[in-house]
Chains A and B, each alone.
Chain A
Amino acid sequence: EAQVTQNPRYLITVTGKKLTVTCSQNMNHEYMSWYRQDPGLGLRQIYYSMNVEVTDKGDVPEGYKVSRKEKRNFPLILESPSPNQTSLYFCASRREEYSPLHFGNGTRLTVT
């Protein structure tokens, strides 16, 4: 089954404790991206990647890092999480530049 898989689904952590959210897609898509979804603000892009070793900032990149060492994986790293990063995070992939996004089922992160 074609899918985008995120782990974990739920994560509670404390301020300053480094964490990684994994994302993997099995569709051989070129493009991958991370979004956060907050009430009243909608989905906002954090980072995106156009191919292996090619990444760029989205609208809200502060406090996040990404890497794309393999085509199928695109982890999101929070090196020093803060409470304002409490949110619902989605990884997405797309086949080509103007293709629709395919989303994972989300990771709900709480930072206390």
Chain B
Amino acid sequence: EDQVTQSPEALRLQEGESSSLNCSYTVSGLRGLFWYRQDPGKGPEFLFTLYSAGEEKEKERLKATLTKKESFLHITAPKPEDSATYLCAVQLYTGNQFYFGTGTSLTVIP
């Protein structure tokens, strides 16, 4: 069965304390892996797409990486405004289904 698992469920960091969020997947025919940020009361906001093992994408303090079985979202020197829930999703080659993880709730304390 296709599955996407995110860990940890919740993470509290001091401002400036770098860490990583994990998204592991067991799917057949991965077309792309997506990272989203979701703030309370809002819809998920697109961050990155990764297509192949070894690929990396960066945006400000965030860097996403991909292996054959998992993806990491690295947060370097986080700030309180980085507090949000981070979701990952996989899309298969069939194209029309996205499978989402349950997210990691990140809190950055000043």
Contact = CB atoms under 8 A, between A and B. Distances in A.
Interface of A: 4, 31, 40-45, 48, 50, 56, 58-59, 90, 92, 97-98, 100-106
A24 to B, nearest CB: 14
Interface of B: 4, 31-32, 34, 36, 41-46, 49, 87, 89, 91, 95-98, 100-103
Contacts of A41: 102
A105 B42 contact: yes
Contact of B95 (A40, A92, A97): A97
Contacts of B97: 45, 58-59
Majority-rule SS of B interface residues: strand
B42 A42 contact: no
Given A42-B102, A59-B97, A100 B41 contact: no
Contacts of A97: 95-96
A59 B2 CA distance: 12
Given A42-B102, A103-B45, A98 B96 contact: no
Contacts of B4: 42
